């Protein structure tokens, strides 16, 4: 009996195609068009629309007619006429767009309407994008910000404006100078630099007169402008360049490891890759050297492994590299015999494709040979199921 009830209920729903929204119902006719019914079932709006979407808490719904969008109330009155190719809510307003939108590209103009359909901003903007309860705007190649009250909190004066949606600050530029502002147009990093980095741990690397320094959000210097290059701190030390040589400084810019390296990289797992005019090696935070001259390539960017390689000349003298792996104790776990090792696969899935002489195989998490390099195609390690089996092809 219960199953019969469910069946007839589902059948009724399919036949009537009625959607309930508080006291108003949308319905779809046999022609596929949508209209509105009253609570009593009387027709409020004839089925003329391509679609009528759900009503919001304010009693308004988007609709589509002849491939154009508008807004109606629960009586079917058109608050916003169907003149637009895109409509979106922003606070108590409606962002409207005329033009073509495809994936991440668009060609057209934006405007902003009040809740009653009257115009707040005309269709003359190249961009309107919601950010932290504000609206980022572009008009005539100038950037600004509108607040939720419909007021410009940042005037349309900037040549460049960028943010991510998790930040409360805006990276801006005007007349070739860069800095950061907040939503009220207050400068949190002065707009006076040739370049500014993204914000990281509430700090920004800045460049001025060819020198790099670091500044905290709010404008306080943490490292003065003095270096030819500067990175954010990694494991407590920042890589920097001075007088053509690399070294490492603390959070205040004080030298920790002298500027003696021809090339160097950030610390990871207590070691950094460095190089002088003689060899490549790893250093610890006291400057002690490891693996001096052992390898021609060292990549220390991973959580559990260090990728290394040695150069091998072939019979005609052409140099090719063969790769292997070390663990974080600097012990070799995979010999340098492979043309390629997919280290990220190893960290993500516990297995990694390796290539040797154009044949594929697999390493396991311990760096050991799991499948020999006998296979003709890349092995999809994401395809391993709970049995530990994967489809592979061998000729």
- Whichever domain contains 66, its CATH number is 2.40.128
174 falls within a domain:
no
Residue 238: its pLDDT value, please? 98
* Contact indicator for 297, 308 with CB cutoff of 8 Å: yes
Output the six-digit token pair for 388.
């530990």
Residue 314: its pLDDT value, please? 73
Q: How far is CA 219 from CA 183, 188, 202, 235, 379, in A?
A: 16, 6, 11, 24, 51
Nearest to 147 by CA among 155, 138, 159: 155
Looking up tokens 């002088």, which residue turns up?
276
Residue 310: its pLDDT value, please? 95
Sheet containing 93-102: give its strands across. Answer: 86-90, 93-102, 105-113, 119-125
* Contact indicator for 198, 190 with CB cutoff of 8 Å: no
Q: Which range of residues forms the domain containing residue 34?
A: 15-125
51 falls within a domain:
yes
Per-state percent for the chain, helix, strand, coil, to nearest 5: 5, 55, 40
182 falls within a domain:
no
Domain boundary among 125, 145, 175: 125
Q: Which residues have C-beta within 8 Å of that of residue 381, sequence separation ≥ 6?
A: 345, 349, 351, 352, 353, 362, 390
Domain boundary among 125, 151, 182: 125
Q: How many structural domains compose the chain?
A: 2
353 falls within a domain:
yes
d(CA 251, CA 369): 43
- How far from the centroid of its chain's Cα atoms is residue 348's Cα? 19
Q: In degrees rounded to 5, what are phi and psi of residue 64?
A: -125, 130
249 falls within a domain:
no
The single-letter DSSP state of residue 321 is E
* pTM attached to this predicted model: 0.82
239 falls within a domain:
no
Domain boundary among 75, 93, 125: 125
Q: In degrees rounded to 5, what are phi and psi of residue 10?
A: -65, -40
3 falls within a domain:
no
pLDDT by residue, tens only, the chain of 395 residues? 444 444 444 433 433 444 444 467 899 999 999 999 988 888 999 999 999 999 998 899 999 999 999 999 999 999 999 999 999 999 999 999 999 987 777 899 999 999 999 999 999 999 999 999 999 999 999 999 999 999 999 999 999 999 876 789 999 999 999 999 999 999 999 999 999 999 999 999 999 999 999 999 999 999 999 999 999 999 999 999 999 999 999 999 999 999 999 999 999 999 999 999 889 999 999 999 999 999 999 999 999 999 999 998 877 778 889 999 999 999 999 999 999 999 999 999 989 999 999 999 999 999 998 889 888 888 887 755 444 445 445 55
Residues in a beta bridge with 4: none
Burial class (CB in 10 A: 0-12, 13-18, 19+), 338: buried
251 falls within a domain:
no
């Amino acid at each position: 009996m219960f199953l019969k009830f469910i069946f007839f209920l589902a059948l009724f729903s399919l036949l009537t195609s009625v959607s309930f929204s508080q006291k108003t119902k949308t319905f779809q006719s046999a022609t596929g068009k949508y209209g509105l019914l009253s609570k009593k079932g009387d027709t409020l709006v004839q089925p003329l629309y391509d679609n009528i979407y759900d009503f919001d808490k304010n009693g308004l719904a988007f609709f589509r007619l002849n491939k154009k969008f508008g807004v109606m109330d629960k009586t079917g009155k058109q608050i916003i006429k169907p003149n637009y190719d895109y409509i979106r809510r922003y606070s108590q307003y409606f962002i409207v767009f005329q033009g073509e939108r495809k994936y991440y590209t668009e060609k057209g103009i934006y405007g902003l309407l009040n809740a009653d359909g009257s115009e707040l901003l005309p269709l003359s903007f190249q961009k309107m994008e919601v950010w932290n309860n504000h609206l980022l705007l572009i008009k005539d190649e100038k950037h600004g910000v509108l607040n939720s009250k419909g007021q410009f909190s940042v005037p349309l004066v900037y040549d460049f404006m960028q943010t991510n949606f998790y930040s409360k600050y805006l990276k801006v530029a005007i007349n070739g100078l860069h800095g950061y502002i907040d939503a009220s147009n207050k400068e949190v990093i002065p707009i006076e630099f040739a370049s500014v980095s993204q914000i990281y741990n509430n700090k920004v690397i800045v460049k001025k007169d060819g020198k790099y320094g670091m500044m905290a959000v709010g404008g306080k210097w943490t490292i003065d402008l003095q270096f030819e290059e500067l990175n954010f701190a990694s494991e407590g030390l920042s890589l920097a360049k001075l007088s053509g040589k690399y070294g490492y400084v603390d959070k205040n810019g004080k030298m920790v490891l002298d500027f003696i390296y021809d090339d160097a990289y950030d610390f990871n797992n207590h070691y950094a890759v460095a190089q002088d005019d003689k060899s490549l090696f790893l250093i610890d935070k006291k400057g002690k050297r490891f693996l001096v001259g052992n390898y021609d390539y060292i990549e220390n960017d991973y959580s559990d492994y260090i990728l290394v390689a040695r150069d091998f000349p072939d019979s005609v003298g052409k140099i090719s590299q063969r790769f292997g792996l070390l663990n974080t104790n600097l012990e070799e776990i995979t010999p340098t015999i492979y043309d390629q090792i997919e280290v990220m696969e190893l960290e993500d899935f516990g297995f990694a494709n390796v290539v040797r002489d154009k044949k594929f195989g697999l390493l396991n998490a311990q760096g050991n040979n799991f499948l020999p390099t006998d296979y003709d195609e890349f092995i999809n390690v994401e395809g391993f199921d709970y049995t530990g089996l994967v489809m592979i092809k061998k000729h």
